[in-house]
Amino acid sequence: MLRGGRTRRREQGVGPVRGGRLRWVQNDLLSNIWAGYLGVVGVSHWLLVTNGFLFLYGFFFTPSRKCDEGRPSCWNCLKHSVICDFLPDAGASPGSTSTVNGTASHKNAAFISGKGFWYIPGYICPDVTSPSGTTSYELNMQDMELLHHWTISTSLTMTSDPVVRTTWRTTVPQIAFQNPFVMRGILALSSLHLAHLTPSKRDIYLSLSTFHHEMALPEATSVLPAIDASNCNALHIFSILTAIHTLGRPRQPEDFLVVGEQGIAKWLVLFQGVVHIIEPFEEIMAQGPLAPFCTARMHRQQQRVSCIETATTDYLSSLREKLLTSLSTPEYMAIYTEAIDSLSNSFNFMYSCPAHSWEMGDVFIWLFCSSGEYLHLLKEGRQEALAIFAYACVLFGKLEVYWWMEGWSGHLMLNLWRWLDEEHRGWIEWPVNEIGWRPPYELVEVEMKE
C-alpha cells in the first residue's frame, strides 16, 4: 500500500514522502466531507492517513508543477497559492534531515481556518518570529488597507493607457515585494490618495503617507549610486512614485517657486530624474517587466512627432508678437523663441488629443527639453521668461484630470503673478482666462494700497 501511495504521489507530480506510517485511502465519502468543510471543489479523492491524521492531498498539489528552487517557497507554488512541499526544515542545515521522535519534523502543511493562514509544522519563517522567539501571525491592517486601495483604485489613476495601468496594478507590486523602498512608495502614494478621497480621515492618511515616504527615501538613496540592470526597474518606479507624491501632497504658498535659487531649477531636478535614471538601461527595461512603459512612451513620442508635423494652429502667436514688438533685450530673442516653439509643440499635441488620453509627460517634456539658458532667465525672474511660463500653466491645467495635479495651474499662476509687473500681466491675459484663475482679493487689495 505504501508503494502504491508513493507511485500515485509521483503521478501527481509530487516528491517522495518522508517518514511516518503512510497509507492511501480512496474514499469518496470522506473526501467529499473534507472537501465540503474546506470549501474546495473538484479535489482529488485521495486521503493520506499518517500517524492517525487525515490529510487531503488533492487540493494541496497541482500536477506537473516545476520547482524553481526559490526560497522560502518557489514561484510556481506562490503563483498557484499552494504550499511548496520542498520547504526547508526549521533550523536544519542544507542537506540535513531533522527528526523528532523518529519522524520527520517537516510535516504536511495545513490550513488553520480560525487564523486564516497556512501552517507548516516545523517550519518557522525568521521574518515572522517575535523577539521572544514565538511565532507571530499578526497583520498590519493599515498597510493591508493601503495595498488593497492601491490595487483597486490608486494604480488605476496613474495613467490613461490601459496596458500600463495593468502594469501598475499587477507588475509593480511584484517588483515592490523584492524592493521594500518601492513598497513603501506604493503605500505612501495610496495613503495620499485616500487622504484626498476621505477628508474626515485626511490627517490620519497624510501622516501615514509621510511616514512611508520618509522611510523609503534613505533606502532608495543608498541604492541609487549602485544602479544596474538588477535594480533599474525598481528605482525607475520609485522615481515616478516620488514625483507624483511630491505633486500631490499638500502645498504651501512658498512651495515650488518659479523664481530664485530654490525655484524652478530645484524642483525640475526631481522630474528630470525620472527620465535620467532609465536612459542607460532603456534596452534592458524594454525587455523586462516594465516593457509596457517603454512601448507606451515610444508610441506617445511617435504621436507627438506626427502631430507637430501636421499642426496648423499657433496658440502662442500673440505672445510671439508681444516679444517682437517690445523685447528690451534682443540678445535673448533666440532663447525665448526656442522656448516658445517647444511649448507650442506641446500645445498642438495636447489640443489634438482627447482629454481622457492626456499624460503627465505631454507637458513635462517641455521642461525637460527647455534650454539651460531659458531656465536661467526664469530663475532670475526675467519678465518675458515668466510670461512664457504662464502660458505653460494652461497645459498644467489640462493635467488636473489627475487627482495629484489638482490646483497646480492656479498655484503656479499666483506665483508668477506676484513677480510680473503691470505691463507683462497684460501679456498673460489669455492663459489667465483659459484656466479660469483670478488674483486673490487680499493680493489685489494690498496692491491697490501700494
Ordered per-residue pLDDT tens for the chain, 450 residues? 444 444 444 444 444 444 444 444 444 443 443 344 343 334 333 334 333 333 433 433 334 445 555 544 555 554 455 555 554 443 343 333 333 333 333 334 444 444 444 444 443 444 444 445 555 567 889 999 999 999 999 999 999 999 999 999 999 999 999 999 999 999 999 999 999 999 999 999 999 999 999 999 999 999 988 899 999 999 999 999 998 998 999 987 766 666 765 666 566 666 666 777 778 898 999 999 999 999 999 999 898 888 888 877 888 999 999 998 888 777 899 999 999 999 999 999 988 888 888 898 888 888 888 888 998 898 888 999 999 999 999 999 999 999 999 999 999 999 899 899 999 999 999 999 999 998 886 665 555 555
In this prediction, residue 84 carries a pLDDT of 57
In this prediction, residue 108 carries a pLDDT of 41
CB proximity list for 190: less than 8 A, separation 6 or greater: 146, 147, 149, 150, 153, 154
In this prediction, residue 67 carries a pLDDT of 58
Quick one: which of 248, 183, 175 has its CA closest to 399?
Answer: 248
CA distance 351 to 362: 11
In this prediction, residue 114 carries a pLDDT of 42
In this prediction, residue 44 carries a pLDDT of 38
Whether the model clears a pTM of 0.85, i.e. scores above it, the answer is no
Specify whether the CB–CB gap between 77 and 86 falls below 8 A.
no
Specify whether the CB–CB gap between 394 and 351 falls below 8 A.
no
Beta bridge partners of 118: 111
Residues, the chain: 450
In this prediction, residue 82 carries a pLDDT of 54
CA distance 359 to 86: 46
CA distance 284 to 282: 5
CB proximity list for 267: less than 8 A, separation 6 or greater: 246, 256
In this prediction, residue 102 carries a pLDDT of 38
In this prediction, residue 276 carries a pLDDT of 75
Specify whether the CB–CB gap between 195 and 201 falls below 8 A.
yes
In this prediction, residue 97 carries a pLDDT of 38
Q: Quote the cell numbers at residue 69.
A: 528552487
Beta bridge partners of 24: 48
In this prediction, residue 212 carries a pLDDT of 97
Specify whether the CB–CB gap between 375 and 338 falls below 8 A.
no
In this prediction, residue 17 carries a pLDDT of 40
In this prediction, residue 260 carries a pLDDT of 62
In this prediction, residue 3 carries a pLDDT of 44
CB proximity list for 414: less than 8 A, separation 6 or greater: 253, 437, 439, 440, 443
